[in-house]
Each structure stands twice: as structure tokens, then as C-alpha cells.
Amino acid sequence: MEIDMLRENEFSWLLEKDKEIYPTDKPVTESVLKNWYVRNPEFGITFRERHKIIGANIIIPLNKQGWKGLIDGRLLESDCKDKFIFDNNKDSEIGIHIYHIRKESSISEFYKYAMEALTSVLLKLKNLNKLLKVIGFSGLCVTKNGIGLFFNKFNCKESAVIKNEYVLMKNNGIELAELNHFGELERKLREGYKFITRCKMLVTYPDDPSIIWSYLNI
């Protein structure tokens, strides 16, 4: 298994995969992806066998302002560009936000490979920036597997913003609905929708008990 970086001609593949699980009307675009990786493309971590992607750990590297804004609900993932993106030449703090993590084959405990690869990226940056530290780790979780990984395995907790976005299914199609009270959900269920999960912004900080910090406490 080879560790590599997401290539520009694969951006559309990634965005389509993300749309399958999170069909937001304010999506990340290819231009936003380019902005994330203009300085540090190595944060678009991919795992390959015979040049084929078998796993991905796609990260938004954020400075303190960007990461705080995202987990507090003032920014969307698609807003995270330009002044919010980490710059190792001037920033001593980085917030790690997982945009998309997936495996395309039966890799046991894939999260370990994903976190080890991320640690390697951070250590290389720290060799050039001795003051660098990770201020937090987060993910907008929109699937049961994602919530299971971040909540149960990583011991992340919901951030200051409690999302009111719900993933629903109807006729084998995924839809995203913003629901503000139970009556709205009841109406959707009567219309034939199936409840999948509520989206959650899940976060852990360096002082929290999480196995994440056995990797990222660089």
C-alpha cells in the first residue's frame, strides 16, 4: 500500500463521493479544494495499490481562526479558504478537520493508517516550524460509520454548534433536510422518508482523553 496525495484530476471523484453522503446545497468545489492544497497538498492523503485509490484521509488544514470558525458554526467547509488555511511559514497553530475519510477495500482498522500518515505529514512540517502544535481535531460526521468512528472510537464530542441537518432516505436516494423541531421530522417520516442520522460536528481538544492525541501530540 502506497501513501500518496490526491491529484487534481481526482478532485471530481472525491466531490462526487462526498455528495453521495452529504448532498448539501453549499458544497465544496474544485476551486476550494485547490485553495486548501496550494501550500500543503500532502494533506490530501490517499492510499493506493497499483495506482488505484483504496483509501483516503482528506483534511482541511486550518489556522486557528479558520478552525474555530468552522467548529463554532460561523464557517461552512466550503467557506474554508484563503485567510483560513494554515500557512507553515507564519502559523504556529493548526486545526485538523477531516473533510472525508473512506476506504475502498477491506482494510482492517483503516483509521490507524490514516492517523499515522497524518502524523507523518505534521512531523515534516514541524521540522521546519519548531513551534507548531495541533490545537484541535474535528470532523463533520454525516454517516453512522463516521459518527461511530469519531464519537465511539475517537471520543470526540459535539462542538458549540449543534447541527440541525438530518440525513434522510427515500426511494434509495439520500436527502439532506434542515429540521428545527420534531414535528418537521414526523412529517418527513409520514411522507415516506427513512431517518438515517443527524449530522454532527465532532471535536476533540489536546487535553481531552482521546486516542487521537497518541498520534497528533507532536
Residues 79, 34: one domain?
Answer: yes
pLDDT in tens, 27-71: 999 999 999 999 999 999 999 999 899 999 999 999 999 999 999
Q: Show the cell assigned to 204.
A: 476533540
Query: Over the chain, what is the mean pLDDT?
Result: 96
Residues 41, 124: one domain?
Answer: yes
Q: What is the pTM of this model?
A: 0.95
Is residue 176 within 8 A of residue 22, CB to CB? The reply is yes
Confidence check: pLDDT of 150 > 90: yes
Residues 70, 176: one domain?
Answer: no
pLDDT in tens, 68-111: 999 999 999 999 999 999 999 999 999 999 999 999 888 899 99
Residue for grid cell 468545489: 29
Q: Position 212: which residue type? A: I
Confidence check: pLDDT of 151 > 90: yes
Residues 91, 116: one domain?
Answer: yes
Q: How far apart are CA 54 and CA 179, in angstroms?
A: 35
Average pLDDT over residues 12-22: 97
Residues 153, 82: one domain?
Answer: yes
Range of the domain at 112: 2-160+201-216
Determine the pLDDT at residue 134: 98
Nearest alpha carbon to residue 35 among 101, 83, 71, 100: 83
How many domains is the chain partitioned into structurally? Answer: 2
Torsion of CA 31, 35, 36, 39, to 10 degrees: 140
Q: How far apart are CA 61 and CA 87, in angstroms?
A: 9
Give the three-class secondary structure for 17: helix
Residues 148, 171: one domain?
Answer: no
Residues 44, 94: one domain?
Answer: yes
Residues 98, 76: one domain?
Answer: yes
